[in-house]
């Protein structure tokens, strides 16, 4: 029997706090704390919590085994958000026999009790850490089980193919092995296409999760740091009229139209300079290689060349207008338009499922490589079946459905009743 765990599930200091318990004795401990708590599951009880030190009016909800987030007997106590009240209630419950929950232990128990799978657990973490609308929407697709369901559907298609090949191998007298493998290969091509849709979404998924990387580059003293501050809406980088003020990479984030952007200010690129400035220039050049978009800053008569992933900007247009996109970091002219242009130049389709987890991406990529290898290699049906099973298990690293039992069940499901 697992221990009964307890923890605050909300930050203290607000109007209301929630304390969560999970484990066989959670109902017993709640009733020791509160009067007026009945036996009905998933019913809100207005009760009085009384410890040795404090008394508080609470709402208590009980959950029976199998009907809670963790799958265990559970209880939730909604009390006032005072840190003192929350701590004293938790202390009382610990003295009653509960233990403090480890980080993520409630969700770990939910996973072990098969209330959620790994993709849902990872999605919950992403949802908690969401900073933008796009991140929250994409995370919910995992929490809601859409990603796992999609991959399980692919597994089910692959399982049927494996079962058909296994039957053909086991009954050589039927003389259908070669035809079965040929038919299987046609279906495998379709499955590869389905997996490719998911793996191709990884780049966009990572942009949603980590943000669009925008790097500001240019020669010294053209106002890169001033544009950096203007786009952020506050002073983050030091601005000075002397060239070479920015010596290191400075990074900060902003959200625009529900999308996260990671903005990077870099050292001015020029020949010469002292050792420290040269190191800054090297770091600036390295940042450019990983940029989704570059803001190339110059001034009139000293323009930055525009390329496919570069927005060429002429700063200080309040003094003299250049040939490129005109802005003035000093007056703010063109900054709002530049922000919109950055969004337009980095826009992408955010609809549908987007992978944003390296573990999931590697599992799907491995499955795809294995299936492509099975198609291209001239091998026996036995070896072909082994490759398909390996691909099935790679997908199972995402869905937590791995092993031959599923395939065996599929084989026997095709038998007639009484056979």
- pLDDT tens per residue across span 310-331: 999 999 998 988 888 999 989 9
pLDDT above 50: residue 393: yes
- Place 414 in a pLDDT band, splitting at 50, 70 and 90: very low
Q: How far apart are the first and last CA of the chain?
A: 41
Domain annotation covers residue 133: no
pLDDT above 80: residue 177: no
In the prediction, which pLDDT does 4 show?
96
Q: What is the pLDDT of residues 342-356, one digit of tens each?
A: 999 999 988 888 999
List of E strands, 36-121:
44-50, 55-63, 74-80, 99-100
In the prediction, which pLDDT does 364 show?
96
- Are 224 and 197 in the same domain? no
In the prediction, which pLDDT does 49 show?
95
Decide if 22 contacts 99 (C-beta within 8 A). no
Q: What is the CATH number of the domain that holds 76?
A: 3.30.1360.120
- Are 234 and 339 in the same domain? yes
Domain annotation covers residue 418: no
- Are 365 and 281 in the same domain? no
> What's the whole-number mean pLDDT along residues 302-315?
80
Decide if 22 contacts 109 (C-beta within 8 A). yes
- Region for 85 from its dihedrals, namely left if φ exceeds 0, alpha if ψ lies in -120 to 50, beta otherwise: alpha
- Place 243 in a pLDDT band, splitting at 50, 70 and 90: very low
Residue where one domain finishes, among candidates 294, 321, 345: 345
In the prediction, which pLDDT does 419 show?
32
Neighbour order of strands in the sheet with 44-50: 34-35, 44-50, 55-63, 74-80, 16-22, 5-8, 99-100
- Are 240 and 291 in the same domain? yes
Residues 6+ apart with CB under 8 A from 135: 126, 129, 208, 209, 260
- Are 214 and 340 in the same domain? yes
Radius of gyration of the chain from Cα atoms? 30
Domain annotation covers residue 116: no
- Are 215 and 194 in the same domain? no
Domains identified in the chain, total number? 3
- Are 51 and 159 in the same domain? no
Local structure of 48: helix, strand or coil? strand
12 backbone dihedrals φ, ψ, rounded to 5° = -80, 160
Domain annotation covers residue 332: yes
Q: What is the DSSP string of 125-158?
A: HHHHT--SHHHHHHHHHHHTTHHHHHHHHHHHHH
- Are 364 and 315 in the same domain? no
- Are 220 and 341 in the same domain? yes
In the prediction, which pLDDT does 347 show?
93
Buried b (16+ CB within 10 A) or exposed e, 359-389: ebbebbbbbbebbbebeeeeeebeebbebbb
Domain annotation covers residue 217: yes
- Are 104 and 25 in the same domain? yes
In the prediction, which pLDDT does 413 show?
46
Q: Which of 276-285, 298-307, 359-368 has the highest mean pLDDT?
A: 359-368
> What's the whole-number mean pLDDT along residues 180-187?
82
| The model's pTM | 0.75
> What's the whole-number mean pLDDT along residues 348-377?
91
| Cα dihedral 385/386/392/397 (nearest 10) | 180
List of E strands, 9-54:
16-22, 34-35, 44-50
Burial of residue 290, with CB atoms counted within 10 A of its CB: 0-12 exposed, 13-18 middle, 19 or more buried: exposed
Distance between alpha carbon 326 and the CA centroid of its chain, in Å? 37
Q: Which of 122-126, 329-333, 362-366 has the lowest mean pLDDT?
A: 122-126
- Nearest Cα residue to 34 out of 23, 45, 43, 20: 45
Domain annotation covers residue 392: yes
More confident of the two residues 384 and 4: 4
Q: How far is the C-alpha of 134 from the C-alpha of 234, rounded, in Å?
A: 24
Q: What is the mean pLDDT of the chain?
A: 84
pLDDT above 80: residue 269: no
Residue where one domain finishes, among candidates 324, 345, 366: 345
Domain that holds residue 190: 146-201+358-413
More confident of the two residues 38 and 274: 38
Q: What is the CATH number of the domain that holds 181?
A: 1.20.120.430
Domain annotation covers residue 25: yes
Domain annotation covers residue 137: no
- Are 10 and 64 in the same domain? yes
Q: How far is the C-alpha of 106 from the C-alpha of 109, rounded, in Å?
A: 5
Residue where one domain finishes, among candidates 111, 136, 170: 111
Calculate the alpha carbon distances from 110 to 23, 72, 73, 334, 357 in Å.
Answer: 12, 8, 12, 51, 20
pLDDT above 80: residue 270: no
pLDDT above 80: residue 81: yes
Decide if 197 contacts 368 (C-beta within 8 A). no
- Are 241 and 330 in the same domain? yes
In the prediction, which pLDDT does 411 show?
35
């Amino acid at each position: 029997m697992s221990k009964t765990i307890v923890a605050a599930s909300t930050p203290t200091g607000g109007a209301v706090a929630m304390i969560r318990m999970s484990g066989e004795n959670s109902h017993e401990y709640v009733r020791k704390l509160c009067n007026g708590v009945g036996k009905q599951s998933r019913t809100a009880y207005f009760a009085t919590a009384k410890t040795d030190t404090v008394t508080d009016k609470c709402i208590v909800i009980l959950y029976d085994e199998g009907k809670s987030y963790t799958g265990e007997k559970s209880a939730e106590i909604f009390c006032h958000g005072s840190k003192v009240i929350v701590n004293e209630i938790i202390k009382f419950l610990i003295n009653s026999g509960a233990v403090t929950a480890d980080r993520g232990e409630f969700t770990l128990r939910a996973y072990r009790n098969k209330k959620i799978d790994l993709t849902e657990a990872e999605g919950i973490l992403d949802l908690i850490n969401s900073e933008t609308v796009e991140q929250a929407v994409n995370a919910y697709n995992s929490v809601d089980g859409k990603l796992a369901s999609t991959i399980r559907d692919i597994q089910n298609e692959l399982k049927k193919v494996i079962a058909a090949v296994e039957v053909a191998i086991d009954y050589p007298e039927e003389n259908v092995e070669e035809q079965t493998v040929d038919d299987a290969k046609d279906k495998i091509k379709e499955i590869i296409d389905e997996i490719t849709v998911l793996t191709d979404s990884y780049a966009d998924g990572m942009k949603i999760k980590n943000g669009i990387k925008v790097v500001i580059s240019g020669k010294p003293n053209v106002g890169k740091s001033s544009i950096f501050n203007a786009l952020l809406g506050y002073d983050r980088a030091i601005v000075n009229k002397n060239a070479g003020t920015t010596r290191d990479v400075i990074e900060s984030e902003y959200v625009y139209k529900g999308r996260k952007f990671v903005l990077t200010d870099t050292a001015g690129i020029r020949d010469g300079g002292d050792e420290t400035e040269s190191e800054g220039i090297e770091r600036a050049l390295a940042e450019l290689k990983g940029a989704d978009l570059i803001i190339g800053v110059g001034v009139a008569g000293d323009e930055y060349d525009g390329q496919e992933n570069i927005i060429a900007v002429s700063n200080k247009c309040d003094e003299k207008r250049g040939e490129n996109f005109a802005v003035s970091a000093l007056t703010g002219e063109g900054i709002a338009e530049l922000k919109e242009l950055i969004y337009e130049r980095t826009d992408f389709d955010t609809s549908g499922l987007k992978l944003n987890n390296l573990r999931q991406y590697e599992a799907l990529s491995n499955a795809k490589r294995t299936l492509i290898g099975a198609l291209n290699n001239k091998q026996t049906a036995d070896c072909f079946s082994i490759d398909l099973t390996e691909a099935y298990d790679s997908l199972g690293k995402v869905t937590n459905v791995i092993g031959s039992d599923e395939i065996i069940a599929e084989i026997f499901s095709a038998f007639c009743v009484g056979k």
